[in-house]
């Protein structure tokens, strides 16, 4: 009896300790139509934006419910219950950042009623799908999904996009310099005066994983309230994240300004919870992160201490006590800003939306029917007061002088609107080289020059300069040829390393055979190129040492002969083991695989047509990250004239879907499929039409 009473008290207290969300709006699925085209892309119509969001949730769940669930398992720190130890690490980070407290406390203040409807529409669409298909659930406890869960999911994803995981790893390993996040993308905007066909042109070309939680899903959302946007979104996102409307289009590229500051605290003694802050000794706030980890058939509960200082989330390690301060757990309106970026009519409205400054990461490139082209080094840059400090290192965290609040105003970010030379571009290089030389932003005109903005070119930016000269006009075909280019530039810091490696046989004659082949490389990563296989493999161990960061492409590193030799040795041994020869076509090494399809593919992480692979079971490398969703948008003064897109695999992640890998052949030919924003055309050509029910 006593045990039963204790259990009842526990259940009662647990019930009332949870925060329940009461939906304020309801939606009728009959007001929503999903039109599937021949490629399986959903064109989602709702009478309201919220109903279109409901339809997006349903359609995306039909194609990739498993990945959407993993996003929300992260958002509710339940991932460890499904994926085990690795998932529990993410659950710990969620609680380290205090996302529950931050979002729940501020939710009513930061979410206006108009956007609340969109959030509720998306959540109810997802919950309805989960209710209808319970056999697809990864964890019953996950549902229902609520609007606060959405904001937490965005915040955690943005924290990881900001490089939080790499910074945490560096702190735990006792490193002083903290590695930048991985990221790559291309975007080009050309005024119609520069394009032979007379069309203002934007290329959206994010380089993302081809599968998983940050692989793009292609969709089109339409409503009677004025929404009409086609583009890419991530699993669990409530709107299009970059895309095309009838009046304008925008694209994102990753940037590498200093997004996270790490403070090493001065503790009163080695066992103390007190740290110095000016002339005070303040006590760390201490809580327990409650975690559950799947181990085989068991789910094991455990807890781990989490700390908080004036600076923010804090870790106690064997190397010291460190705090991390970042935008991702201070600003929670990113979902709203992305939604509103797709609801503008012109550049003025779009720029006003950027002034929300709610998206902590990502550059923005824009083009529209009025022939405006625009680039901005977007993101949330801390308003740091002590610019003499090297913020890329661990900072001595014992004074308010290094404590910051708020973020740099958007007008102080490097940006260019309508340069006379008629183009802007970004390929993850410095924002101070985004257009022609005479119209580039000048570093001296912007504060926080070195600590905030990347200052270097990379291989892709240098290659673009080789292929395009400032005063050229070009056809769309030539612009596409630049976008799909597979060559490294003739000169770059990275290519200097390559040439050193190619000539190692002069000092080490035992590598004469492989260097003889390697020296014939013409800098191309096309499928027929034989020396490209040696290059690719030789840098595998080197990039592993750099934790696969893109920093090696941008900064100059004096790598030792032994490091380069290790790469050459790896390449030689790998080729002989798996192919029995040093002369292997690159397309025989790097493969584009999904389901029953297996094709040769070219590319490399820092050529225009980016592609990265990992070893597969047969010794080949399977392409896993790079050219995912590509969109070409063309405008004249009347609006959008042409819209093309292509996806690396297909628009569904379900193996039994005909759209699991149906775009692969077209993708490998650098082809595109024609899309439209015209609802009448969509209705006439739809393969399938239905309500989400």
Tell me the residue ranges of DSSP E strands in 516-652: 590-594, 597-600, 611-615, 621-636, 639-647
Contact 577, 584 (CB under 8 A): no
Which stretches of the chain drop beneath a pLDDT of 50?
1-18
SS3 for 376? strand
Distance from the Cα of residue 83 to its chain's centroid:
22
Supply the pTM of this predicted model. 0.94
Domain boundaries, the chain: 486-607
Tens of pLDDT, residue by residue over 522-573, are 999 999 999 999 999 999 999 888 877 778 888 888 899 999 999 999 999 9
The answer for residues whose C-beta is within 8 angstroms of residue 378's C-beta and 6 or more apart is: 255, 354, 359, 362, 363, 364, 410, 413
- Alpha carbons 411 and 276: distance in angstroms, whole number: 36
- For the record, the structure tokens of 172 come out as 């735990």
Ramachandran class of 61: left when φ > 0, alpha when ψ lies in -120 to 50, beta otherwise: alpha
pLDDT score recorded for residue 545 = 84
Contact 498, 556 (CB under 8 A): no
Tell me the residue ranges of DSSP E strands in 57-171: none
- Alpha carbons 429 and 608: distance in angstroms, whole number: 13
Which residue, chain included where needed, has tokens 């729940």? 104
Contact 23, 617 (CB under 8 A): no
Q: What are phi and psi of 182, to 5 degrees?
A: -80, 140
Contact 240, 229 (CB under 8 A): yes
The answer for residues whose C-beta is within 8 angstroms of residue 209's C-beta and 6 or more apart is: 215, 624, 625, 628
- Alpha carbons 284 and 277: distance in angstroms, whole number: 11
Tens of pLDDT, residue by residue over 423-468, are 999 999 999 999 999 999 999 998 776 668 889 999 999 999 999 9
The answer for residues whose C-beta is within 8 angstroms of residue 589's C-beta and 6 or more apart is: 533, 536, 537, 620, 621
Ramachandran class of 569: left when φ > 0, alpha when ψ lies in -120 to 50, beta otherwise: alpha
**Burial (0-12, 13-18, 19+ Cβ within 10 Å), 278:** exposed
- Alpha carbons 89 and 73: distance in angstroms, whole number: 12
pLDDT score recorded for residue 248 = 98
**Burial (0-12, 13-18, 19+ Cβ within 10 Å), 646:** buried
**Integer angstrom CA distances of residue 322 from 151, 264, 309, 464, 635:** 26, 5, 9, 41, 50
The answer for residues whose C-beta is within 8 angstroms of residue 109's C-beta and 6 or more apart is: none
- For the record, the structure tokens of 351 come out as 């720029």
Q: Is the dihedral of CA 505, 510, 513, 518 positive or negative?
A: negative
The answer for residues whose C-beta is within 8 angstroms of residue 290's C-beta and 6 or more apart is: 95, 301, 303
Determine the number of helices (DSSP H) and then strands (DSSP E) in the chain: 22, 27
């Amino acid at each position: 009896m006593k045990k039963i009473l204790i259990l009842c008290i526990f259940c009662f207290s647990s019930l009332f300790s949870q925060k329940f969300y009461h939906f304020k709006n309801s939606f009728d699925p009959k007001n929503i139509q999903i039109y599937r085209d021949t490629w399986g892309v959903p064109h989602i119509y709702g009478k309201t934006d919220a109903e279109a969001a409901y339809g997006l949730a349903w359609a995306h769940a039909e194609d990739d419910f498993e990945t959407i669930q993993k996003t929300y398992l992260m958002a509710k720190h339940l991932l460890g219950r499904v994926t085990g130890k690795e998932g529990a690490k993410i659950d710990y980070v969620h609680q380290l950042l205090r996302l529950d407290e931050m979002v729940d406390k501020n939710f009513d203040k930061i979410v206006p009623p108009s956007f609340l409807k969109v959030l509720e529409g998306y959540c109810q669409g997802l919950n309805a799908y989960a209710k209808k298909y319970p056999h697809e659930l990864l964890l019953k406890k996950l549902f229902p999904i609520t609007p606060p869960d959405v904001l937490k999911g965005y915040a955690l994803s943005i924290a990881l996009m900001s490089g939080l995981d790499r910074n945490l790893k560096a702190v735990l390993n006792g490193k002083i310099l903290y590695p930048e996040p991985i990221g790559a993308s291309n975007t080009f905007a050309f005024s119609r005066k520069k394009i032979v066909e007379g069309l203002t042109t934007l290329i959206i070309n994010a380089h993302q994983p081809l599968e998983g939680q940050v692989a793009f899903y292609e969709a089109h959302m339409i409503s009677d309230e004025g929404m009409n946007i086609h583009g890419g979104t991530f699993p669990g996102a409530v709107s299009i994240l970059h895309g095309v409307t009838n009046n304008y289009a925008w694209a994102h590229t990753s940037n590498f300004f200093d997004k996270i500051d790490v403070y090493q605290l001065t503790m009163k003694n080695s066992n103390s919870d007190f740290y110095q802050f000016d002339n005070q000794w303040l006590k760390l706030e201490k809580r327990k992160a409650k975690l559950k980890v799947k181990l085989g058939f068991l789910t094991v509960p455990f807890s781990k201490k989490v700390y908080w200082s004036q600076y923010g989330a804090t870790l106690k390690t064997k190397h010291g006590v460190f705090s991390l301060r970042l935008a991702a757990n201070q600003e929670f309106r990113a979902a709203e800003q992305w939604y509103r970026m797709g609801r503008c009519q012109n550049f003025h409205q779009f720029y006003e939306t950027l002034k929300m400054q709610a998206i902590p990461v990502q550059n923005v490139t824009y083009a529209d029917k009025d022939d405006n082209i625009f680039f901005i080094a977007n993101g949330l840059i801390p308003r740091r007061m002590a610019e003499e400090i090297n913020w890329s290192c661990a900072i001595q965290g014992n004074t308010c002088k290094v404590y910051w609040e708020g973020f740099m105003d958007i007008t102080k970010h490097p940006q260019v609107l309508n340069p006379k030379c008629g183009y802007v571009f970004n390929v993850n290089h410095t924002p101070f080289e985004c257009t022609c030389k005479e119209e580039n932003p000048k570093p001296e005109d912007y504060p926080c020059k070195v600590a905030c903005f990347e200052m270097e070119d990379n291989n892709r930016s240098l290659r673009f300069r080789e292929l395009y000269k400032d005063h050229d006009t070009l056809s769309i075909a030539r612009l596409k040829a630049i976008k799909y280019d597979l060559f490294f530039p003739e000169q770059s810091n990275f290519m200097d390393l390559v040439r050193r490696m190619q000539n190692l046989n002069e000092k080490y004659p035992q590598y004469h055979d492989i260097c003889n082949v390697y020296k014939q490389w013409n800098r191309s990563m096309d499928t027929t190129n034989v020396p490209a296989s040696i290059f690719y493999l030789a840098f595998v161990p080197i990039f592993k040492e750099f934790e696969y960061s893109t920093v090696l492409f941008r900064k100059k590193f004096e790598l030792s002969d032994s490091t380069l030799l290790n790469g050459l040795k790896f390449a030689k041994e790998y080729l002989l083991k798996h192919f029995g020869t040093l002369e292997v076509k690159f397309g025989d090494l790097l493969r584009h695989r999904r389901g029953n399809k297996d094709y040769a593919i070219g590319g490399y992480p820092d050529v225009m047509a980016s592609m990265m692979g990992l070893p597969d079971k047969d010794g080949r490398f399977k392409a896993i990250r790079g050219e995912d969703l590509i969109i070409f948008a063309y405008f004249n003064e009347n609006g959008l004239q042409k819209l093309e897109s292509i996806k690396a695999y297909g628009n569904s992640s379900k193996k039994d879907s005909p759209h699991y890998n149906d775009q692969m052949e077209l993708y490998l030919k650098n082809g595109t499929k024609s899309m439209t924003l015209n609802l009448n055309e969509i209705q006439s050509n739809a393969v399938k039409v239905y309500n989400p029910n």
